[in-house]
């Protein structure tokens, strides 16, 4: 929302500078303000990059952003990156305006900054949408759940494993499994409790687990992850 508003204001201000250009003045104060802003934003950006690199392990930046379940982690990085690019374009616009004696160039730079902010807003909205409407767990988590179920001889078939993030580090999993027909009810209950304990111990993200005994013929079969 902030990026969208900033984009609109920047584009509008840029259009005003092109339609009604103001006389050029000494740009020294502009350069000082931009330099201080770049120093502050650069420091914040370096900290954000260091923290993001610590979480992404061997994955690429884009893969880490796509897999991240915590928007706050990459929002700061995107915000600081957009700010640094915007400041660089603003400085270039001020220089070009005075170098070529045309104040409208500064307006063009402002519009370019607005489009950058709009692009970042669209990208962040797309990446955060999955968590707002409920995003499934990482494939590695789903595979780990299947592995735990597959090694249980009392389970003849796993019909499906459904997951949804209820928070960045919290996952709800619903499991439909076909238990052996000759398994007594008491042993089935103990087996379910044992499976839940093992899953929570091996996969800390699983905060809620629901296991439903269901005949394979009565359920829609979901193949295990490749």
Residues 24, 64: one domain?
A: yes
- 25 and 125 together in one domain: yes
Q: Which helix (H) or strand (E) holds 182?
A: none
In sign, the C-alpha dihedral spanning 153, 155, 156, 158 is: negative
Residues 108 and 146 in one domain: no
Q: Is residue 224 part of a domain?
A: no
Both 148 and 126 in a single domain?
no
Within this chain, do residues 90 and 197 fall inside the same structural domain, yes or no?
Answer: no
State the residue range of the domain holding 162: 139-218
Instruction: Provide φ and ψ at 219, rounded to 5°.
Output: -120, 160
Residue 110 contacts residue 24 (beta carbons within 8 Å): no
Q: How far apart (Å, rounded) are the C-alpha atoms in residues 14 and 6?
A: 12
Domain limit, last residue, from 78, 107, 133:
133
40 and 100, same domain (yes or no): yes
The strands making up 155-167's β-sheet, listed across from edge to edge, are 155-167, 170-179, 206-213
Same domain, 8 and 91: yes
Number of domains in the chain: 2
Residues 103 and 152 in one domain: no
Is there a domain that residue 53 lies in? yes
We report the CATH number of the domain holding residue 200 as 3.30.70.1350
Could you say which DSSP state residue 205 is in?
T
Task: Write out the chain's pLDDT in tens, 226 residues.
Answer: 565 666 777 887 888 888 888 888 888 998 999 999 999 988 988 888 887 777 666 666 666 666 666 666 677 788 888 889 999 999 999 999 988 888 898 889 999 988 988 888 887 777 666 665 567 778 888 999 999 999 999 998 898 899 888 777 788 999 999 998 888 888 888 999 999 999 999 999 898 999 998 887 655 555 566 5
Whether residues 105 and 153 share a domain: the answer is: no
Q: Are residues 183 and 199 in the same domain?
A: yes
Residue 15, SS3 per DSSP: helix
CA–CA separation, 65 vs 171, rounded Å? 18
pTM (two decimals) = 0.61
Domain match, 35 and 128 both: yes
End-of-domain residue from the set 105, 133, 161: 133
Tokens of 35: 């330099």
Last residue of a domain, one of 70, 99, 133: 133
Length of the chain: 226
């Amino acid at each position: 929302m902030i990026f969208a508003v900033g984009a609109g204001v920047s584009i509008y201000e840029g259009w005003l500078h092109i339609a009604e250009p103001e006389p050029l003045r000494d740009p020294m104060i502009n350069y000082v303000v931009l330099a201080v802003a770049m120093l502050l934003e650069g420091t914040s950006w370096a900290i954000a990059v260091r923290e993001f690199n610590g979480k992404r392990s061997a994955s690429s930046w884009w893969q880490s952003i796509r897999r991240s379940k915590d928007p706050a982690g990459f929002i700061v990085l995107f915000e600081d990156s957009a700010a640094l690019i915007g400041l660089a374009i603003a400085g270039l616009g001020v220089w070009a305006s005075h170098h070529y004696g045309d104040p409208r160039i500064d307006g063009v730079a402002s519009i370019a900054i607005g489009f950058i902010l709009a692009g970042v807003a669209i990208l962040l909205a797309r990446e955060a949408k999955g968590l707002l409407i409920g995003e499934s767990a990482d494939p590695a988590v789903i595979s780990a759940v299947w592995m735990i179920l597959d090694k249980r001889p009392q389970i003849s078939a796993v019909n499906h494993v459904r997951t949804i993030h209820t928070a960045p580090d919290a996952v709800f999993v619903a499991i439909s499994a076909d238990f052996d027909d000759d398994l007594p009810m008491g042993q089935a209950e103990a087996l379910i409790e044992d499976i839940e304990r093992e899953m929570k111990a091996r996969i800390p993200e699983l905060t809620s687990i629901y296991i439903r005994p269901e005949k394979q013929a009565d359920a829609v079969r979901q193949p295990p992850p490749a």
